[in-house]
């Protein structure tokens, strides 16, 4: 698993742990500093815990200050903790509902061959934002999962939306082959042969020519 994806998986846990530590920092800091200073240190801990916590420990160990017994010793840290945890939970909830989050989960699902989840996440992303590229990604996943008629519809929506990927015609040709619509398959492969993508150095263009000849042979 790439480091970036691994970090995204553990990031929520790290932030929640930082929030718990910041509650302790706030409760402890009130004994040594004014309320506003303790609050500032606690909030900084949520975002920079690996920097703030060691620095805070060094300060309270070596900078001798009188320890106070603040009023509402447990009430304010409890209130602070509720607010911080609620804010973090709300952030992750709303962030998980964005288009980018949906597409990221679809990509992760594809990596483990979970077509059902990938299709579901692509559909939810399209419900939030009608995007021709997402229609194409959904169409490819539908085709691979065997939902051929739906795949054709999604490829057409991608075309109509202006998706620039010329391989759509090649993908459509493959789908129409599976649907045994030879004429439509030939038409899409011929369209693909006229595209710039067909001129790239790979075997896709030659594959389209071979399939056209096969369709023509089936007609005779």
The answer on pLDDT for 191 being more than 60 is yes
The answer on pLDDT for 59 being more than 80 is yes
- At residue 132, the pLDDT reads 96
Residue given tokens 């017994």 in the structure block? 69
The answer on pLDDT for 6 being more than 70 is no
Please tell me which residue, 202 or 188, carries the higher pLDDT value. Answer: 188
Rounded CA separation 151/157 (Å): 10
Rounded CA separation 16/219 (Å): 65
Question: Which class in CATH covers the domain with range 98-163?
Answer: mainly alpha
The residue among 64, 73, 62, 63 whose CA lies nearest residue 35 is 73
Residues near 207 by beta carbon (within 8 Å), at least 6 away in sequence: 170
Distance (Å) of CA 176 to CA 188, 189, 205: 9, 10, 17
Q: How many CB atoms lie within 10 A of CB 135?
A: 23
- At residue 3, the pLDDT reads 47
Residues of the chain with CATH 1.25.40.10: 98-163
Q: Please answer whether residues 104 and 135 qualify as being in contact, where contact means their C-beta atoms are separated by less than 8 angstroms.
A: no
Q: What is the per-residue pLDDT across 77-108, written as a single tens digit (0 to 9) for each? A: 999 999 999 999 988 888 778 898 899 889 88
The residue among 80, 76, 90, 145 whose CA lies nearest residue 116 is 145
Two structure tokens written together for 60 = 């309270």
Rounded CA separation 202/196 (Å): 12
């Amino acid at each position: 698993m790439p480091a970036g994806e691994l970090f995204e998986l553990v990031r929520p846990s790290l932030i929640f742990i930082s929030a718990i530590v910041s509650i302790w920092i706030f409760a402890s800091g009130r004994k040594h500093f004014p309320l506003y200073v303790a609050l500032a240190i606690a909030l900084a801990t949520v975002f920079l815990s690996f920097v703030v916590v060691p620095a805070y420990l060094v300060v309270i160990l070596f900078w001798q200050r009188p320890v106070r017994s603040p009023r509402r010793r447990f009430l304010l840290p409890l209130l602070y903790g509720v607010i911080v945890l609620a804010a973090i939970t709300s952030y992750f909830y709303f962030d998980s509902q964005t288009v980018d989050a949906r597409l990221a989960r679809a990509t992760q699902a594809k990596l483990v061959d979970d077509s059902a989840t990938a299709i579901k996440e692509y559909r939810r992303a399209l419900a939030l934002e009608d995007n021709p590229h997402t229609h194409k990604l959904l169409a490819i996943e539908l085709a691979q999962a065997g939902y051929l008629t739906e795949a054709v519809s999604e490829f057409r929506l991608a075309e109509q939306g202006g998706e620039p990927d010329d391989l759509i015609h090649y993908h459509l040709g493959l789908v129409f082959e599976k649907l045994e619509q030879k004429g439509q398959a030939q038409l899409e492969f011929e369209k693909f042969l006229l595209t710039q993508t067909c001129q790239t150095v790979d075997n896709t263009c030659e594959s389209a020519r071979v399939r056209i000849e096969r369709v023509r042979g089936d007609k005779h």
